[in-house]
Structure formats: structure tokens, C-alpha cells
Structure 1
Amino acid sequence: MKTKIILIGLFYSALSFAQIDTTKVKVPFEGMDQTWQNGSDRRTNPSLLATKYFTGSVMLDANYTHSFNNPNDNTVVGSTVLARNNEMQVSSANLGGEFNYEGARAKIMMQFGTRSTVVPRNDYSVYRGQYDMSNMYRYLSEAYAGYHFNKWYGINVDAGMFMSYIGLNSYYQVENWEYQASFTSDNTPWFFNGLRVQMFPTKKLKLEAWMINGWQSYGRFNSMPGVGGNITWCPNEAVKVLTNDYYGTDAAGLPGRKRFHSDNSLLVRYYNQPKAMGISRMAFSSTFDIGFEKGEGVGGFNGTDSNPAQYFLSGMVYHRIWFNKNQFAWTLGGGIMTNPGRYLVLLPTGDASPLPNPNNPTQTEGTHPFDTSAGTQFKGWDCSTNFDWMPNQSITFRVEFVHREANVPYFAGSGGVTSPTGYTTTTLPTDWQPDLVKMENRIIFAVLFRI
């Protein structure tokens, strides 16, 4: 409650003194080259579709991913960016833009493709109440409106659906160094639905506060909203430091179970010769996450037999080298995660999913739900390497190899997770089980377009 009061006070304080300034508009981070950063727009000229009041945006993300496990149903397990193995797929097609008029602002980005199903599918909040929120929102990746106050280097007050942890990995793959995100990013939020206040007291600092429905959820799980914020500091264009912190009640029907999460990153560009024909740029990014749930049957970091431990620890590191005036790039990295209680683990898809049936919320989808009860263990690690060709600022061709492992059967094996034949129309034998295995290797080919 104290956190909620502080955030409300911060919101009204910002409104009370953020009078419109008719002097020259100050732009945060102006003059800093951020095109190298993981999770940022790499375009040097992002205004090709800009007019006085509207800046348009078009993105297309198409991929072909080959799993060496060769599941018979072609289903990808444990990913928010991939959905189908051994097929050409449109992961995301985005269309929209930003509107600005005398301080009034809005952004709408539509999303189509497999991500419009893959990302929302773990949101249990849509089954509280009526109106099928999973379908009404799934084709929106961003949709918010607000006002810009010309105070300091800007204050923005926005309401709607906006991106969450954009400090490191972006929701849009065209902005990321890697295609298949490490466990740390893939198991933390991509979007929030609620209220956001962004304040830029200096050119190099951003302070952001949130009051939202919950942890990557369209609706609210219990009576308490989620609260949190972001601090981003760029002392110069070669360094970025940030923290994202969250507190809420995100276990459906368990209002006494509280969740805390802290996501922290450091990005450093330590070499920069943009006109060099050989190595033209080098940088690394590192992220560490810590979080826990406590109350109503779980004990956070201090578990007991009656209240098992339920927490999240993870980290990831990536290194990227650009070549030939930044037209080519090679990335290598990976990460680890441990999540007792499995409260943030992406649930295996298909017949192994314990979520309600989207067509009938009174029924469980799948006959073999993945165990997420208190005390269950999950540990995973991954590594990947990729090579990018970027002939211009609007197109990226990427080939990537990914290896992932878990301490329990989790990834789709050759038998798939749907049925003996791989089709949902096949009657399941009484002794059939989803074929989950502890390891997978895959190769991803992706085309990423943005204008």
C-alpha cells in the first residue's frame, strides 16, 4: 500500500509542476549513438515515414527454425518468439505508428502472426470475468495515449498497453542481438497494461513509474495492482545502466501471495571505428535478475516443508562484434536460470499445457499438465551464436544456432506434445504421454524488416 501511495503522489507531483515550456524542446539522450545497444532501434535515420503529426512504422519478422529433435507435431516448447519447427512462419507483422499534436501523444502498433498467440497464452487473468480479453487484445502490441510536458528533458504520462523491459531485450526482434532470447528475457514481461509516468530530469537519466494490471497480463489477478519502475542512466553513449523493479500479486485467486522482481543490466561499447572495413565495433551486455514469491503456501528464499522456496535467479551475457562498416555482426552468448516453484517458467505448449481451454474456460486444455506446484524445481541454461548481414538499416538476414538444456523433461522430443500422429484430431490412447526431453538444438533462419 505504501508503494502505491508513493507512486500516486509522484504522478500528481509531476502534473502539478510540469507546466508547458515554450522554449526549445530538450530531447533526452540527444546526440548519443544508441544504435549499437541490444534492444534499441539500430536505424540511423528512423524518420523515413515521418510527417508533422505522425511517424509510421512497419515491421516484419519471418523465420524458419529447424529442431534437431524433429517433433512430429512441429511444435516449439518454451519460447515466446518461435512457434513451429521445420516450417516457414511469420512470427510477427507489425503496422502502426506514433501521433503527436501540441503535447498530446499516442502510439498504436498492431501485431499479427504467431506471436499474437504465443505471447498471451500464459496469461491466466483473461479467464477472470467476461469478454474474452485474450482475443480482444492479442492483435495489439502497443496501444497508449498520453501527454508530453516540456519540463526538464521531458515528462510523459501515458495510459494503455506499453512495452516493459525495453532497457535490454526488445519485444521486436529487429532490435535484438539474438533471436531466441535467453531464459532470463523469455520468462520476464514483454508488455504492461496500465499507467506509466516517464521523467527525464537530465539528458542522461530516465526515471519511470508504473501502476499496471499485473505481470504481463491483460487483466488483474487479484484486487491489488502491480507497481514498479525503471531507472536508466547513460553517462555517455558507450555505457548504459538500468534497473527494472516490480511488486504485485500475480497468482490467480491467491491475493496473499506477493511477488517481487528486480531486473538489472549493463551494456558497454568498448570499441568503435564505424568506418573500418575490418572490425568496426565491439560491445557486450550483461543482465542479472532476482525475484521471489511469498505467502499462501510458498516461502520465497526461505523455504520449509510446509512453505517451499519459490524464487527466481538468472543471468545472461552476450558479446557482439560488427564488421565492414557495421554491415555484418557476430554475436555469442547465453544464460542460466533457476526457478523453484516454476512460477515464471513458460509452460510447455499443446497437450502439455495446464491452461484453460480458450474455447471453454471451464475445461483444462491438455490431459498432461506441466507440474507447477509449490516445491517443484526448474533449472535451465542456454547458449547461442549468430551471424547477421545488414545491407542497409531496414533489413537484417540472420542465421543462429541455439542449444538449451533443463534439469527436467521440458522441450519437445520426436513424439511431440500433441498426439501420436502430431494432429489434434487424433484420439489419444490411454497410455500416451507428451514427449518431453531435457535438451534441444536448433538452427534459426530469420529475415527482419523495419521501416
Structure 2
Amino acid sequence: MSPHLLYWLARRAYNAICRLTSDCIPSTLCVAAILWPSLAAAAADVQANPDVAAESLATTQDAPLPFAFADFSWMPGNAGAMDKPLSFGPVAGELRVDTAYHYSFANPQDDTLSGSSEAFRHGEVQLTQLGVGGDVNYGRVQARLMSQFGLYSQTTPRNDATPGRGQWRLDDALRYLSEAYGGYHFDVLHGLN
């Protein structure tokens, strides 16, 4: 095991224990007692082979990539799938279909569920969102356009009465547009967008 990796693991364990306890001194002693044999072996290895230790340090510090230590595609807000079957050159198309079935034990007479921005009708299969759009990634330019059809485009703006004032009706101005943005990635400070 690399001594640098071992130090990183020890530091992470120390920080985790310090977050769990209010007093860091017993935590430090626990971490030191657990990791002492491995740390001693790593220190002896570094003293015996200083060239290998310097080489491993040089290779790990060449080009640090932010967030390259894990796969974050599962997180909300990320595209998720790495393979995109609707890709054509720099354009990656996307088709979203979201349906729902809601049942209310109150059995409303007109099948309308009120007071929610996610559940709309009782006892019906609903098309809540049908979205067509995609991403454009060309060089350092990034853009996304996504449409929105279905109950999200009709009932969610209806439930919000705040934009219903003035000359321009904000409740349905962007009704059929779910996402639209563009940006440029500057290659400084590990990625300034």
C-alpha cells in the first residue's frame, strides 16, 4: 500500500471520528493505535526505497482531476447513464416519459386532487411529463434544451397564483419549456464554468 494512500486513509478516518465525537484526543489515540503497524511498515518501506516513494508521489500529483475519485452519475442532477443511445456527434438527444397512478382514500367526486404539485387526478393513469430535448457538448461549449408536455406543464403553474398578475402571464409563458441553458467551460482553476 502506498504511504500516501495510507496517510490519506488515516486522515479520513481521523476526520470521521472527530465528527462523531466531541473530543478529538481519544479519537486520535484510537486511530493511531489501529493504524500504527501499517504506518510503521509504510515508513520502513519509504526509508528502504526512497526512489519508489518519490516516484509514486510524482505520479499521484501530476494532474489532479476534481471529483475523479468516484462515479457521481447516480446523483440527482447528473445525466446518470454513461451510454446515450440517441447521440449524434456533439448532440445527445433525450426522451422522457413520466407516468403516475394516484389513489385517494377520500374518493373525491370529480377525481381532482388538490393541494399538491405532484399528484393531480384520483384513480387515473396520468402522463405527468413527456419531454423531448437533449444536450450539446462541442469542445468547451455546453448547452441543454428540454421541452415539457403533460400534466406538469398544465397543473403545476395553475397551482401557483403568484405570477397571475400583470400584463405578461408568467404562469404559461414558459409552460412547455422544462430546461434551457448554455455555458462555456474555462480551463482554469480545475474547471471554471
Q: Same fold (TM over 0.5)?
A: yes
Task: Report the TM-score, using the length of structure 2 for normalisation.
Answer: 0.57
Whether the 8 Å contact between 1:97 and 1:108 is mirrored in structure 2 is yes
| Residue in structure 1 matching 2:145, options 108, 117, 141 | 108
Tell whether 2:68 aligns with 1:30: yes
Q: What does 1:391-430 correspond to in 2, within 5 Å?
A: none
Q: What RMSD over aligned residues (CA atoms) do the two structures have, in Å?
A: 2.7
> Partners in 1 of 2:110 and 2:65 — Cα distance?
50
> Partners in 2 of 1:109 and 1:26 — Cα distance?
33
Task: Report the TM-score, using the length of structure 1 for normalisation.
Answer: 0.26
Q: Which residue of 2 aligns with 1:153?
A: 190
Whether the 8 Å contact between 2:117 and 2:159 is mirrored in structure 1 is no
Q: Which residue of 1 aligns with 2:48?
A: none
- Residues 43 and 148 (structure 1), Cα distance of their counterparts in 2 relative to 1, 3 Å cut: closer
Structure 1 residue identity aligned to 2:130: A
- Residues 90 and 31 (structure 1), Cα distance of their counterparts in 2 relative to 1, 3 Å cut: farther
Whether the 8 Å contact between 1:26 and 1:152 is mirrored in structure 2 is no
Whether the 8 Å contact between 1:98 and 1:107 is mirrored in structure 2 is yes
Deviation at 1:104, TM superposition (A): 2.9
Structure 2 residue identity aligned to 1:136: A
Q: Which runs of 5+ in 1 are unaligned?
A: 1-24, 157-451
- Residues 117 and 31 (structure 1), Cα distance of their counterparts in 2 relative to 1, 3 Å cut: farther
Q: Which residue of 2 aligns with 1:56?
A: 93
Q: Which residue of 1 aligns with 2:51?
A: none
Secondary structure in structure 2 of the residue aligned to 1:47: coil
The structure, 1 or 2, with the larger RCO (C-alpha pairs under 8 Å, 6+ apart) is: 1
> Partners in 1 of 2:134 and 2:64 — Cα distance?
22
Q: Which residue of 2 aligns with 1:144?
A: 181
- Could you list the per-position Cα deviations for residues 291-330 of structure 1 after superposition, in whole angstroms to 9, with x for gaps in the alignment? xxxxxxxxxxxxxxxxxxxxxxxxxxxxxxxxxxxxxxxx
> Partners in 2 of 1:128 and 1:55 — Cα distance?
38
> Partners in 2 of 1:114 and 1:26 — Cα distance?
45
Deviation at 1:78, TM superposition (A): 2.6
> Partners in 2 of 1:125 and 1:138 — Cα distance?
15
Deviation at 1:45, TM superposition (A): 2.5
Q: What does 1:291-440 correspond to in 2, within 5 Å?
A: none
- Residues 33 and 144 (structure 1), Cα distance of their counterparts in 2 relative to 1, 3 Å cut: same
Secondary structure in structure 2 of the residue aligned to 1:134: helix
Q: Which runs of 5+ in 2 are unaligned?
A: 1-62
> Partners in 1 of 2:67 and 2:109 — Cα distance?
49
Matched residues, number: 131
Query: Which entry has the higher C-alpha Rg, 1 or 2?
Result: 2
- Residues 40 and 108 (structure 1), Cα distance of their counterparts in 2 relative to 1, 3 Å cut: closer
Whether the 8 Å contact between 1:99 and 1:106 is mirrored in structure 2 is yes
- Could you list the per-position Cα deviations for residues 338-380 of structure 1 after superposition, in whole angstroms to 9, with x for gaps in the alignment? xxxxxxxxxxxxxxxxxxxxxxxxxxxxxxxxxxxxxxxxxxx
- Could you list the per-position Cα deviations for residues 235-291 of structure 1 after superposition, in whole angstroms to 9, with x for gaps in the alignment? xxxxxxxxxxxxxxxxxxxxxxxxxxxxxxxxxxxxxxxxxxxxxxxxxxxxxxxxx
| Residue in structure 2 matching 1:82, options 86, 94, 119 | 119
Deviation at 1:41, TM superposition (A): 5.0
> Partners in 1 of 2:95 and 2:116 — Cα distance?
24
> Partners in 2 of 1:76 and 1:107 — Cα distance?
33
- Residues 145 and 35 (structure 1), Cα distance of their counterparts in 2 relative to 1, 3 Å cut: closer
Deviation at 1:42, TM superposition (A): 7.9
Secondary structure in structure 1 of the residue aligned to 2:123: coil
